[in-house]
Amino acid sequence: MTKLVLYFSPGASSMAVHIALHEVGAAFEGKPVSLARKETRTPEFLAINPAGKVPTLLVDGRPLTEVAGCLFYLARRFPDAKLLPAGDIEAEAQAVSWMSFLASTIHPARRQGLEHANEVWRIADARLGANRWALGDAYSIVDIHLFRLFWRMEKSLQPPLATLANLFAHRDRMMARPAVQRTIEVESGIGYDLPA
């Protein structure tokens, strides 16, 4: 049996991988680390992940990093959870397109100013449209990644509902999922210790 260990910081990007682990029902060991106390910069952690970032998912002791990589691994390792489309190359390509957009455009947007952040979130809202999930009718790792980024942005930027109605509806659907509720419960219990 594969041993999984997730190094995570409550409320950080690692939350997406934490949700996915609950979605697939995998047995795993969670190891919370504090970004505010720079616990990802210790020699011990840097020996595991030289980038000093979370998520870091150990798979039988081998480190796997970056949200998209960890989510992809979990989706493929646990296919019964149906977190990625199978056998539909266009749907698979759409998943990769979304994940690239989230990592390269959405995630760094806040550092480029409020106006830019609002613009890229409007693009994400239009891209989601009236779809139930990012890939249409099928829930996937894209939804997990999108939710975590929106959840964090919503708390800091507090956008008006009318400007991102599709994303707010998506957030509500995500909040109803037991895996999301469980992750928020665990991470809230530890406390959000994010850097300013």
90-132: per-residue pLDDT in tens? 999 999 999 999 999 999 988 888 888 889 999 999 999 999 9
**pLDDT of res. 51:** 96
**Helix and strand counts by DSSP (H, E) for the chain:** 8, 4
18 pLDDT exceeds 60?
yes
**pLDDT of res. 195:** 46
User: Is pTM beyond 0.75 here?
Assistant: yes
193 pLDDT exceeds 70?
no
pLDDT, mean of residues 141-155? 92
Distance CA 7, CA 35 (A): 11
Read off the pLDDT band of 196 (50, 70, 90): very low
pLDDT tens sequence across 20-54? 999 999 999 999 999 989 999 999 999 999 999 99
**pLDDT of res. 110:** 81
**pLDDT of res. 158:** 73
Domain ranges of the chain: 4-80+179-190, 83-176
7 pLDDT exceeds 50?
yes
Instruction: Tell me the β-bridge partners of 63.
Output: 58
pLDDT, mean of residues 53-62? 97
The yes or no reply on domain 83-176 and CATH 3.40.50.10470 is no
Average pLDDT, whole number, for the chain? 93
- Give domain 4-80+179-190's CATH superfamily: Glutaredoxin (3.40.30.10)
* Secondary structure string (H, E, C) spanning 6-39: EEECCCCCHHHHHHHHHHHCCCCEEEECCCCCCH
E strands present in 55-105:
56-59, 62-65
